[in-house]
Chain A
Amino acid sequence: GNSVTQMEGPVTLSEEAFLTINCTYTATGYPSLFWYVQYPGEGLQLLLKATKADDKGSNKGFEATYRKETTSFHLEKGSVQVSDSAVYFCAVYNQGGKLIFGQGTELSVKP
């Protein structure tokens, strides 16, 4: 079935550094792909999504492009802030209608 694999954390960066969190997927067809963010003590929030191959999702300075050639949906941000410290989840629906999450990548940004 459809699944995602994302890079393990934790990832520690200095403020204004460039961020990449890798996510690769296996899927039948081209299901929508999602990045969710979980700030400390809170529920998950949708960060961005892409609904078809070659789509780019973007929000709050984060971007991810749905690449079918490399089956990837890597999350990037040009300049991280302390407030971006959170856990980031890549996700895809499987054929049974279940949203399958990656294991989460914890990001810590230091001033």
Chain B
Amino acid sequence: DTAVSQTPKYLVTQMGNDKSIKCEQNLGHDTMYWYKQDSKKFLKIMFSYNNKELIINETVPNRFSPKSPDKAHLNLHINSLELGDSAVYFCASSFRAGGGDEQYFGPGTRLTVT
């Protein structure tokens, strides 16, 4: 039974296109996150939602827009894709925000922009 799932797993698209990545967690957690992992494996948080409310919004281009329709789902929409957006994007969730809880990660979405 998958805890944190993401779709799609792979996404290949051209510059200038708009794309979305979906994430769902069935752990009953209140908090969800989006991370970007670059080619050197460096992980950086992008956004976090707690019970559908945005609580962390890092310095990310406003072409990236997260949306949380309910606390089990967190989607990431990217407008006007650029070559530099190529990376692996991970969704994660935790029981609560800022409580030092472990985070559970999805399998990742590898985005390639050509």
Find B41's partner among A32, A46, A49, A106 (CB 8 Å cutoff): A106
Flag B36-64 by CB within 8 Å of A: 1 or 0 each: 00001111010010000001100000000
A93 and B90 in contact (CB under 8 A), knowing A44-B105, A87-B41, A106-B41? no
Q: Verify A43–B106 contact, CB threshold 8 A.
A: yes
Query: Which residues does chain A contribute within 8 Å of B103, judged by CB atoms?
Result: 44, 46, 99
Query: Which residues does chain B contribute within 8 Å of A99, judged by CB atoms?
Result: 33, 45, 103
A9 closest partner in B (C-beta): B41
Tell me the smallest distance from the CB of A83 to a CB of chain B, in Å.
Answer: 18
Q: Verify A49–B102 contact, CB threshold 8 A.
A: yes
Q: How many residues of B contact A (CB 8 A)?
A: 22
Find A51's partner among B40, B98, B100 (CB 8 Å cutoff): B100
A sample of 16 more A-B contacts (CB under 8 A), given A93-B98, A106-B41, is A34-B102, A36-B105, A38-B41, A42-B108, A44-B90, A44-B103, A46-B103, A49-B102, A89-B43, A97-B48, A97-B97, A98-B45, A99-B45, A99-B103, A103-B40, A104-B42
